Amino acid sequence: MVKICCIGAGYVGGPTMAMIAFKCPEIEVVVVDISVSRINAWNSDRLPIFEPGLEEVVRVCRGKNLFFSSDVEKHVAEAEIVFVSVNTPTKTRGLGAGKAADLTYWESAARMIADVSKSDKIVVEKSTVPVKTAEAIEKILTHNNKGIHFQILSNPEFLAEGTAIEDLEKPDRVLIGGRETAEGQKAVAALKAVYAHWVPDDRIITMNLWSAELSKLAANAFLAQRISSVNAMSALCEATGADVAEVAYAVGKDSRIGPRFLNASVGFGGSCFQKDILNLVYICECNGLSDVANYWKQVVHINDYQKSRFVNRVVSSMFNTVSGKKIAVLGFAFKKDTGDTRETAAIDVCHGLLGDKAQLSIYDPQVTEDQIRRDLAMNKFDWDHPQHLLPSSPTASKQISVVWDAYEATKNAHGVCILTEWDEFKNLDYDKIYQNMEKPAFVFDGRNVVDAEKLRKIGFIVYSVGKPLDPWIKDLPAAPSS
């Protein structure tokens, strides 16, 4: 039996390895992590991450050919293929702080592999890393020269949260980058054989190491750029009376552009887009390409602009102050069908409203109170580091309450901000919500999930991102643009 070990039992390592175990019954897959609580959760009935379809896959394989363990060194030593799927956060201190990738966790994993290995191994970069990381990793792995051979492959992951299982089962493509030597190509073939269990041959693309590493950063930059483009358009739509949904539909009908990923929103979030673009910016700067760096920086700039534009809309619509007013926040996760809050737009929007002294009542079907309070107390970029570096006691701010029901959140509120596109927000009883709110009652839809006309008939004043403005909002003096 071939043995695969994956270092890092997170959003990528867990689901990815579960899918390999599911599709390859003759391969033993062990996922290891330094976080004992995370491993315990993977071995329990309540998995550490919420992902549709994940539980079913784990249930079929766990204990048969899929194992979760905190005995990191043992399983790394025994494996022929070692995936490294640890976090690669943005550096918070020192050279490149605020942009460059922090490879501390990667480096310590690589040093451990070098130390415990007694046989040749294929080491696979699953984490998103700066281009040329494989070269550095190679040096670390071979530093103590024990006569053991390592082949480094780049195999970036393209799954999106909320659809991870679907994406893993039917990937658009699997990239495998390796050295162009005989040994390098042998390693590429070995990894290709794993994916070939379920991925069609024409979807497994092999290339050189640096192209594979850079393709991941490039793909995320292009995707985020589409969202910033449509969000930039949404501001112009509001100013001119155009409807961003109609504009996006028309633009997306061009087969060269395509219809997906053109939904205007309160801003993109998630653990990847901002981090990876900042990393790309840093790499460009290090290569003397400041114009290229500035080009990509704008994608993040427009995203920040979109979040602050939303806060300005809320405050300016409500008589230029939300001080002491209850505002219901529906949705805190960075997108629907996940409990993940990393870099969620909700954090910046809540900070903006709290800065204006609002009383927030927050509801999300998948995010715990503890997580929300922790997120709102955290410094920028701290979220991707181990829990012990984070605030030990989450903020007990009297300005925030977290409730487990949208009706409770909206009771006696002056305004409602919809920040995640959870399906249940489409079908709430808005008549009932209206009855229980202060008047005038406002809805600020940051995801365009509600039927604005229907809500206006009930009596709400409605703002929808990029849509023609409600007469109430249109007649107000223009809000400052940032």
Closest CB to ligand UDX among 233 and 441?
233
The smaller minimum CB distance to ligand UDX, of residues 184 and 466, is found at 466
Terminal alpha carbon distance of the chain:
59
Name, in order, each residue with C-beta under 8 angstroms of 249's C-beta and a sequence gap of 6 or more.
259
What is the nearest approach in angstroms of ligand NAD to the Cβ of residue 147?
A: 24
Q: Out of ligand NAD, ligand UDX, none, which partner does residue 334 contact, by CB within 5 to 8 A per kind?
A: ligand UDX
Among 205, 196, 171, residue whose Cα is nearest residue 27: 196
Cα separation, 75 vs 32, in Å, equals: 8
Residue 159 touching ligand NAD (CB under 6 A): yes
Q: Considering only residues 32-61, where is the footprint of ligand NAD by CB under 6 A?
A: 33-35, 38
Measured from each CB, the residue nearest to ligand UDX is: 270
Q: Is 28 in the site for ligand UDX (CB under 6 A)?
A: no
Q: How many CB atoms lie within 10 A of CB 354?
A: 17
Minimum CB separation of residue 40 from ligand NAD in Å reads 12
Residue 275 assigned ligand-binding role? yes
Using CB under 6 A, count the residues that bind ligand NAD: 26
Picked from ligand NAD, ligand UDX, none, the partner binding residue 335 (CB below 5 to 8 A depending on kind) is ligand UDX
Rounded least distance, CB 49 to ligand NAD, Å:
7
Contact residue for ligand UDX among 79, 187, 272, 461 (CB under 6 A): 272
With CB under 6 A as the contact rule, the residue among 4, 54, 100, 109 that binds ligand NAD is 109
Whether residue 11 is annotated as binding a ligand: the answer is: yes
Which of these segments, 31-39, 345-353, 371-379, 460-468, binds ligand NAD (CB under 6 A)? Answer: 31-39
Q: Which of residues 416-475 bind ligand NAD (CB under 6 A)?
A: none
Binding of residue 269 to ligand UDX (CB under 6 A): yes
By CB under 6 A, the residues from 226 to 245 that bind ligand UDX are 227
Choose the stretch contacting ligand NAD; rule: CB under 6 A; options: 3-11, 165-173, 229-237, 425-433: 3-11
The binder of ligand UDX chosen from 28, 161, 238, 470 (CB under 6 A): 161
Tell me the site size for ligand UDX, rule CB under 6 A.
Answer: 19
Cα separations (Å) of 37 from 4, 63, 181?
22, 18, 41
- The three-point CA angle 227-305-468 to 5° equals 70
Nearer to ligand NAD, 343 or 364 (CB): 343
Reply yes or no on whether 272 is catalytic. Answer: yes
Q: Which of 68, 105, 268, 425 binds ligand UDX (CB under 6 A)?
A: 268
Choice between 268 and 381, CB closer to ligand UDX: 268
Q: Does 133 bind ligand NAD (CB under 6 A)?
A: no
Residue in 5, 272, 284, 350 annotated catalytic:
272
Per residue, the 3-state secondary structure of the chain, as one string, reads: CEEEEEECCCCCHHHHHHHHHHHCCCEEEEEECCCHHHHHHHCCCCCCCCCCCHHHHHHHHECCCEEEECCHHHHHHHCCEEEECCCCCECCCCCCCCCCECCHHHHHHHHHHHHHCCCCEEEEECCCCCCCHHHHHHHHHHCCCCCCCEEEEECCCCCCCCCHHHHHHCCCCEEEEECCCHHHHHHHHHHHHHHCCCCCHHHEEEEEHHHHHHHHHHHHHHHHHHHHHHHHHHHHHHHHCCCHHHHHHHHHCCCCCCCCCCCCCCCCCCCCHHHHHHHHHHHHHHCCCHHHHHHHHHHHHHHHHHHHHHHHHHHHHCCCCCCCCEEEEECCCCCCCCCCCCCCHHHHHHHHHHHCCCEEEEECCCCCHHHHHHHHHCCCCHHHCCHHHCCCCCCCCCCEEECCCHHHHHCCCCEEEECCCCHHHCCCCHHHHHHCCCCCCEEEECCCCCCHHHHHHHCCEEEECCCCCCHHHHCCCCCCCC
Binders of ligand UDX among 210-229, rule CB under 6 A?
220, 223, 227
Tell me which of ligand NAD, ligand UDX, none is bound by residue 72, counting a contact when its beta carbon lies within the kind-specific cut-off of 5 to 8 angstroms. Answer: ligand NAD
Cβ proximity to ligand UDX: between 307 and 326 the closer is 307
Residues 6+ apart with CB under 8 A from 32: 5, 6, 7, 9, 39, 68, 69, 70, 71, 72, 75, 76
- The distance of closest approach from Cβ of residue 396 to ligand NAD in the complex, given in angstroms and rounded to an integer, is 26
Distance CA 368, CA 378 (A): 16
72 touches ligand NAD (CB under 6 A): yes
Minimum distance, C-beta of residue 221 to ligand UDX, in the bound complex (Å): 11
Q: Which stretch binds ligand NAD (CB under 6 A): 82-90, 389-397, 409-417, 442-450?
A: 82-90
Known binding positions for NAD(+): 8-13, 33, 38, 86-90, 127-128, 161, 272-275, 342
Catalytic residue list? 272
- Binding residues for ligand UDX, rule: CB under 6 A, are 157-161, 220, 223, 227, 261-263, 265, 268-270, 272-273, 334-335
**Where along the sequence are the contacts to ligand NAD (CB under 6 A)?**
7-13, 33-35, 38, 72, 85-88, 105, 108-109, 127-128, 157, 159, 161, 271-272
Can you say which residues are annotated as belonging to the binding site?
Answer: 8-13, 33, 38, 86-90, 127-128, 161, 272-275, 342
